[in-house]
């Protein structure tokens, strides 16, 4: 609770250490993918997230596009536009994260760049725009292109995690590709790797397509778990029962 958090923070500061205090927010984490030109926002879409359990809140999955009620979508777009205007970010790609709380969207991050991981590829595939083309045309002073057709369906990625020194090979990466909906896996074949949560480290992600957001996410999750099972099997000493 608040009192316990304040007491813990006071103890940290009293010991001479630094502490960062952040508001605890409840609700789903989403991001608005935006391109700005001369202070005007072109909203490319909204991406959802699946997070790991506290205290890590690591991002495990992201799916695009996220369909929201019209009122919620309008509120998100307005908030993203307002915060980018407030910080003076008028030109270029932006990735603004919000928690959709009971009283409306709360800003979590404002990034003056395209979204990370594979999110930008999902946006480019399904939004009718290519963020790289938008960026290059804007830098050259050219008019932004008209939107292309929006393909049907949804794309999702699910993170693959493993112990820090887990063996990962191209053959293991192929473990997911035979599953329904899975388009491929993008994995780091070498250590060191970025810490994800607990004793798990980030190895990469599996991408999948579905006719619904839930289907895409379930296919990506199944693919990621197939890869993790293959990694675990490869890590077992030869002759060890599976």
- pLDDT digit string (tens) for 150-169? 999 999 999 999 988 888 88
Mean pLDDT of 132-143: 96
Q: Which CATH class is domain 26-116?
A: alpha beta
What is the model's pTM? 0.90
63 vs 194 pLDDT, higher one:
63
pLDDT attached to residue 97: 98
List C-alpha distances in Å: 176 to 63, 105, 110, 206, 231.
18, 36, 34, 8, 12
* First-to-final CA distance of the chain: 44
Window from 1-10, 25-34, 85-94, 145-154 with minimum mean pLDDT = 1-10
33 near 43, Cβ under 8 Å? yes
pLDDT attached to residue 144: 95
- pLDDT digit string (tens) for 187-226? 988 767 888 778 888 999 999 999 999 999 999 999 999 9
241 near 223, Cβ under 8 Å? no
Domain boundaries, the chain: 26-116, 152-236
Say how far apart CA 203 and CA 156 lie, in whole Å: 17
pLDDT attached to residue 108: 96
Say how far apart CA 162 and CA 64 lie, in whole Å: 25
Angle between helices 119-126 and 131-139 (to 10 degrees): 90
Q: Is the pLDDT of residue 242 over 90?
A: no
Confidence class for position 20, pLDDT limits 50, 70, 90: confident
Q: Could you tell me what percent of the chain has a pLDDT over 90?
A: 71
- Between the ranges 44-58, 127-141, 184-198, where is the mean pLDDT highest? 127-141
**DSSP character string of 26-91:** -S-EEEEEEEEETTEEEEEEEEEEEEPSTTT--EEEEEEPPP--HHHHHHHHHHHHHHHHHTT--S
């Amino acid at each position: 609770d608040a009192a316990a958090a304040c007491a813990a923070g006071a103890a940290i500061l009293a010991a001479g250490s630094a502490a960062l205090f952040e508001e605890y927010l409840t609700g789903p984490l989403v991001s608005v993918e935006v391109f700005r030109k001369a202070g005007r926002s072109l909203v490319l879409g909204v991406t959802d997230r699946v997070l790991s359990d506290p205290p890590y809140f690591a991002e495990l999955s992201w799916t695009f596009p996220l369909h929201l009620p019209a009122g919620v979508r309008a509120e998100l777009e307005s908030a993203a536009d307002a915060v980018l205007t407030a910080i003076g970010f008028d030109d270029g790609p932006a990735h603004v994260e919000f928690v959709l709380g009971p009283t409306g969207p709360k800003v979590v991050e404002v990034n003056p760049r395209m979204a990370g991981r594979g999110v930008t590829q999902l946006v480019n595939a399904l939004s009718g725009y290519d963020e790289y083309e938008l960026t290059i045309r804007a830098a050259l002073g050219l008019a932004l292109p008209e939107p292309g057709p929006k393909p049907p369906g949804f794309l999702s990625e699910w993170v693959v995690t493993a112990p820090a020194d887990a063996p990962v090979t191209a053959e293991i990466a192929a473990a997911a590709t035979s599953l329904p909906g899975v388009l491929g896996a993008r994995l780091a074949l070498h250590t060191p790797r970025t810490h994800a949560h607990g004793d798990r480290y980030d190895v990469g992600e599996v991408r999948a397509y579905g006719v619904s957001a839930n289907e895409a996410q379930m296919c990506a999750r199944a693919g990621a778990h197939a890869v993790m099972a293959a990694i675990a099997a490869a890590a077992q000493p030869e002759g060890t029962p599976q």
